[in-house]
Structure 1
Amino acid sequence: MLHPRRSAQEVLLCDSCETAPLQSHCELCNINLCTNCVGKHLLDSSRKHRVIPFTEKSFAPKVYPKCPTHADKQSELYCEECDVPVCSTCVSKKHRGHNLCDVLEKLSSKTESLQKDLEELESRIYPRYEEMASDVQTEKSELETNYGKLTTAADQQGEVLHREVTAIINQRKSDIQEMKHKHLSTLNKNTEEITQKMAELKQIISDLKSILKSNDVSLTSTYKSRNGEFRQLPPKVRVTLPSLSPQKINTEKLREMFGSLLPLSINTEQGYTMKSAEAVSSPPVKPLLDEPRVTATIDTGYDRYELRSVSCLSEDQVWTCGGNETMKLLNLQSKLLTSIQTKSGDTPGDIAVTRDGDLVYTDSNNINLIKNEKIQTVITLQGWGPCYVCCTADNDLLVTMDSDDGEPSKVVRYSGSTEKQSIQFDDQGRPLYSSGGYNKYLSENKNLDICVADCNASAVVVVNQSGKLRFRYTGHPSNTKQSFNPRGITTDSQSHILTADWGNHRIHILDQDGQFLRYIHCDLDLPWGLCVDIRDNLFVAELGTAKVKKIQYL
């Protein structure tokens, strides 16, 4: 290759080997390379080299920035220790012995980093802030409605109590009226008795006067006195008036009758740290196989209809649990490697393997960790029972749980034993998951969505990492004859969502947006628990056979 500014007789050599004619130029390293040395040069993955044909190299003079310390000099070098551009004077005085590099190379690298930051800010971070601001705005717009409902509920409770008080008062008035009538009736009866005696007395008095006037001996001799009889006065009725003794109103009890108003609770959750663009970059595309195939079958030793959960420790070792207190670690040849019994003696609800290779299991009201074959209870729940558990990319634990008093189920995120997040309701205050049932498997997708297989609701419910509902999947739209019975759920490197439709003996594969892709059949017999290994092999715990099938589907 001839240098365009030199004679045709002069051959330019590779700066690396100094023997072969140069063919290319790396703009980042400012070095000329032959064909053989280009490949070696690109092996250095610590830099993003920009290799171009030598003929396209720009021979324009380099424009160095001015030295920030010595205005009359140019900074041709960059001090990586002090993170500043420097000139030759700076080097000889303050930066002697420091690690120096070409300033244009450093500025190019920094410019590339700035461009990446700009792209991430514009395409990923700022939209997330917009979404959060929109969520807050939505919540503010619903304040009047939500607090209006509370006010209406208070009015309704007041009306109920008013009706009760009115009914009591009316009954009291009725009792008073009845006592009044009884009192009056008694007085009337007493009056009648006295009036009758008075009439008799008047008659006797009249008769006596007539006898005395007549001087008739026969009348006088036959007269019999009744004064003794009338000296015994008729009984006098004494009635004590009823009295109303109102009790002092107990304000506290009256407030209790109105029910309680739970106080406003404002919790500021720890903000999530978004993964960098490099961390969430798309993995290599793995297309789905037209015909998935079983590559291994593990006999777990559990009885039929007992095997529930499976979790991968490695490509050829899986943890399993079933209808007794024993959890088993098995290899692909069905060899039992380890077995551990639950601390409580209860049947484990679910199992999961952490990023460190430790085993987590749920039972009763506890979430337990097995480390070095020693069991420790890391979380004890009050009023809630843990259902199923999974480990996230950040080594958090996600747990589905049902309440003891019939409240809607929820998903809780733990870091160690500290609760970081609780997901229970959508933006409208409606429950995301069905109540009770203890049948809610879950998994975190590679895009950080939280996917829950809610068997009671016949749905897969997917929310984003903030807990906002993304979609519900209720089975293939064309299938109206068979009910959808999701149980186990898992996700793979392609952000596919796989869920076991156990009653229909198949597995649904969805994309990350809930679109149905295809079924996996493989002669499955009541598939229940699911997991995938690091190579996207699917492991299926069959309830009907108590076996685990390893399936290649990508």
Structure 2
Amino acid sequence: YKQRKPQLPEEKCNLHPKRNVEILCKECNVPLCAKCIFMKEHTGHQLDDLEEKYAEKVAFCRSEISKIQEYYLSTSQGLKKEIKEDVMAIKNTMDDIRSSIRAEAESLKELVNRVTSDKLEQANIMEESLLKTLKSQEKTYEDYTEYLEKLLKEFHSYKSIDNIRVLFSDDFKNLKIQSIPETAQPVLPVFTAGHFDKDEVSKLLGSVNFPNTKLNNRRIKPMENASTQLKLTGKQMRRDAEKSDVKQTLSLSSSVTKVREYTVPGVEDVNHISLGKSGRLWGSDDKGNLVQTDLQGDQLQKIQTSGRDEGYHTVTQDGDLIYTDRKNKVINRIKQDNTIIEFIKTGDWEPLCIHSSQINGDILVGMEKGVKAKVTRYNKTRKEIQNIPSDNKGQEIYSYPHYITENINGDICTSDYNKEAVVVVNKSGQHRFSYTGHGSEFYPFGICNDLLGHIIVCNGYLGNCSLDIIDQDGRFLSLLLTQQQGINNPRGLCVDDENNLHVGQYNTNTMTVYKYLQ
């Protein structure tokens, strides 16, 4: 009804007050009555029906009003909302950056304290060695003084002897004063002060910079898709576009291709894998053997631990390896100079599995104490900042978390053997979903994520082994590998920087590498 043809309002002619205007002179662009068209001023001019032209103008106004209300106004409000979201994102990002700066400073302070402690210990050892030398020299002169006093008494005794023949005996001839023992004066240590300034200290710490990327304009959907535009804010559009760009670059391949095989020496099987810098790899078996190898498969170092068939080690953002010690209830750190230090104490809880976040450097640890289990988060300074023992309904989330990882959206993904499920919670600790396999039996072991947010998990059920892949919302995508493709008891799992999937198995130390993305 609103879109019906509008009626021309009644308006009297200025020259002929008894007549209504109903004609438009196109050349003069003025409304006329029927009598005006015979006037000399409009002779030969083109004329239009004023009612039709009025209807066109009103229709144009309605169209522009509709555009403003349905597109321009809603789009600008969406962009305004996006700016507010960006303000909050900047505040949160800067809060995280400030926390990272403080955490890094604390790490540096701790390192300075450790170095200072080592140097003080070195000074103590030097002092002890020098004092020991001087004590020995002091004892030499004490013995020499004792000898002189004894010799002095003997000379005195000969001086008072009545029998003169004694003074010409062999015993008297043999009395000679021994030379004073020589000792070396110690060289005192000298302290050489270190040379450092503010700039050098600043280089040791991270910096805050804008990434060297081209700024993207806020995405504005074309007006012809305004109906879709009303359903999406600018932020959502940008996220969808980014996801679309990633999917255009990489996607699941229709088939899995075997790339190569290599051996991890020093272990009986490969239950867990941690990739380090420069392609170096850490592998462990269920006997507690933890081995580092290089790209050529040469063993670089080997450590005996209390670990079993769980994901008990991980590489930090700094390139150090940290691993759990269930027996002593601690987490150890292997620095790049191969020294091992006690990193975190877990109290009464046995640490089972561990993962170092590549998002913010936090450390996620799956633990158990009797029949209880939880996941604990520590920050870079080893401070406990989160515990996830139960969901928002008070139900226990975990029973035996023995492998753990973190997805690109911050979700914590855990293989829980007793629950026979992959348990996924968001970064706030709220339970999102549990994946219980794509078949009758499901015993989850090694677990990892890729840059598309996929969750890949080993199903180690005897007789029905597989590698399952699900999306970040828990939807089953496919069985990447099955026993028919040569998989037998898969355990260790990781994705490298080239998006290759490394798979370790039980009862063999041979690793197999697959290409599963295209």
* TM-score, scaled to structure 2: 0.50
Aligned mates of 1:328, 1:432 — CA distance in 2: 32
Aligned with residue 415 of structure 1, among 379, 386, 389: 379
Q: In the aligned structure 1, how far is the partner of 2:295 from the partner of 2:267? A: 19
Structure 1 residues 315 and 341: CA distance shift in structure 2, 3 A: closer
1:528 matched residue in structure 2: 491
Distance in 2 (CA, whole Å) between partners of 1:550 and 1:456 is 29
The one-letter code sitting in structure 1 at the alignment partner of 2:450 is D
Instruction: Tell me, in whole angstroms, the C-alpha distance in 2 between the residues paired with 1:496 and 1:124.
Output: 30
CA positional deviation for 1:339: 1.1
Q: What SS class does the counterpart of residue 369 from structure 1 fall into? A: strand
Aligned length: 282
Question: Higher relative contact order at CA 8 Å, sep ≥6: structure 1 or structure 2?
Answer: 2
State the alpha-carbon separation in 2 of the partners of residues 120 and 499 from structure 1: 39
Larger Rg: 1
Following superposition, the deviation at residue 333 of structure 1 comes to 3.8
Offset, 1:413 = 0.5
1:429 aligns with 394
Structure 2 match to 1:267: none
Query: Take 1:511 and 1:339, find their aligned partners in 2: how far apart are those partners?
Result: 37
Amino acid at match of 1:288: L
| Rounded Cα–Cα distance in structure 2 between residues aligned with 1:124 and 1:523 | 52
Shift of 1:303: 5.2
Aligned equivalent of 1:369 = 333
- Report the 3-state secondary structure (helix = DSSP H, G, I; strand = E; otherwise coil) of the residue aligned with 2:282: strand
2:423, 2:275 → 1: CA distance? 24
The equivalences for 1:218-297 within 5 A come to 282=243, 284-285=246-247, 286-297=250-261
Counterparts in 2 of 1:326 and 1:544: CA distance versus 1, 3 Å: closer
Is the partner of 1:495 in helix, strand or coil? coil
In 1, Cα distance between equivalents of 2:450 and 2:255: 18
Contact 1:506 1:524 in 2 (8 A): yes
User: Structure 1 residues 402 and 284, CA, compared in 2 at 3 Å: closer, same or farther?
Assistant: same
Cα deviation, residue 543, structure 1: 1.2
CA distance in 2, matches of 1:386, 1:331: 28
Q: Secondary structure at the match of 2:82?
A: helix
**Conserved in 2, the CA contact under 8 Å of 1:525 and 1:545?**
no
Q: 1:489 aligns with which of 447, 457, 477?
A: 447
Per-residue deviation, residues 22-77 of structure 1 (Å, max 9, x unmatched)? xxxxxxxxxxxxxxxxxxxxxxxxxxxxxxxxxxxxxxxxxxxxxxxxxxxxxxxx
2:254 match: secondary structure: coil
For the residue of structure 1 that corresponds to 2:276, the secondary structure is strand
Equivalent residue number for residue 419 of structure 2: 457
Structure 1 Cα separation of the partners of residues 260 and 385 of structure 2: 39
Q: Look up the equivalent residue of 1:431 and give its one-letter code.
A: E
Q: Distance in 2 between matches of 1:486 and 1:121?
A: 42
Matched, 1:358 2:323: no
- Please state if 1:537 is matched with 2:497: no
- Equivalent pair of 1:315/1:533 in contact (CA under 8 Å): no
Q: Distance between the aligned counterparts of 1:289 and 1:544, measured in 2?
A: 29
Given that residues 267 and 291 in structure 2 are in contact (C-alpha distance below 8 angstroms), is that contact kept between their aligned partners in structure 1? no
Query: Partners of 2:256 and 2:296 in 1: how far apart?
Result: 21
Q: Which residue of 2 aligns with 1:269?
A: none
Residues 307 and 380 of structure 1: is their aligned pair in 2 closer, same or farther, counting only changes over 3 Å? same
2:285 corresponds to which residue? 322
Q: 1:119 aligns with which of 45, 68, 82?
A: 82
Match of 1:467 in 2: 429
Aligned to 1:159: none
> Partner amino acid for 1:459?
A
Give the alignment partner of residue 378 of structure 1, picking from 343, 361, 370: 343
Matched, 1:394 2:360: yes
Shift of 1:406: 2.0
Secondary structure of 2:408's counterpart equals coil
TM-score (structure 1 length as normaliser): 0.47
User: In 1, are the aligned partners of 2:275 and 2:496 still within 8 Å (CA)?
Assistant: yes
Distance 1:318 1:410 in 2: 28
Where do residues 116-195 of structure 1 align in structure 2 (5 Å cutoff)? 118-119=81-82, 121-122=84-85
Q: Distance in 2 between matches of 1:520 and 1:544?
A: 21
Q: Counterparts of 1:520 and 1:124 in 2: how far apart (Å)?
A: 42
TM-fit CA distance, 1:332: 4.5
Query: Contact (CA 8 Å) 1:529, 1:540: kept in 2 or not?
Result: yes
Which of 506, 512, 515 is the aligned partner of 1:549?
512
Alpha-carbon distance in 1 for matches of 2:475, 2:87: 23
Looking at structure 2, the residues matched to 279 and 442 of structure 1 have their Cα atoms a distance apart, in angstroms, of 27
Secondary structure in structure 2 of the residue aligned to 1:323 = coil
User: How far did residue 549 of structure 1 move?
Assistant: 1.5
Equivalents in 1 of 2:454, 2:85: separation in Å?
27
CA drift at 1:290 = 1.4
Any idea what SS the aligned residue of 2:368 has? Answer: strand
Tell me which residue corresponds to 1:515: 475
SS in 2 for 1:291: strand
Q: Percent identity?
A: 32
Would you tell me which structure has more helix in proportion to its own residues? 2
Deviation at 1:412, TM superposition (A): 0.5
Q: Are 2:407 and 1:442 aligned?
A: no
Structure 2 distance, partners of 1:117, 1:378, is 47
SS of aligned partner of 1:538: strand
Taking the aligned partners of 1:505 and 1:315, their CA distance within structure 2 comes to 32
Q: Secondary structure at the match of 1:289?
A: strand
Compute the displacement of 1:121 (Å). Answer: 4.2
The aligned amino acid for 1:359 is L
Secondary structure of 2:255's partner? coil
1:539 corresponds to which letter in structure 2? Answer: H
Q: For each residue in 1:179-222, what CA deviation from the matched residue of structure 2 results, as whole angstroms up to 9, or x when unmatched?
A: xxxxxxxxxxxxxxxxxxxxxxxxxxxxxxxxxxxxxxxxxxxx
Q: Secondary structure at the match of 2:253?
A: coil
What is the one-letter code of the residue matched to 2:408?
Answer: K
1:299 to 254, 263, 279: 263
SS in 2 for 1:498: strand
Taking the aligned partners of 1:456 and 1:425, their CA distance within structure 2 comes to 16
Q: Deviations over 1:409-433 (max 9, x none)?
A: 1110001311011011111100011
CA distance in 2, matches of 1:370, 1:445: 25
Match of 2:460 among 480, 486, 502: 502
Q: What are structure 1's unaligned runs of at least 5 residues?
A: 1-113, 130-275
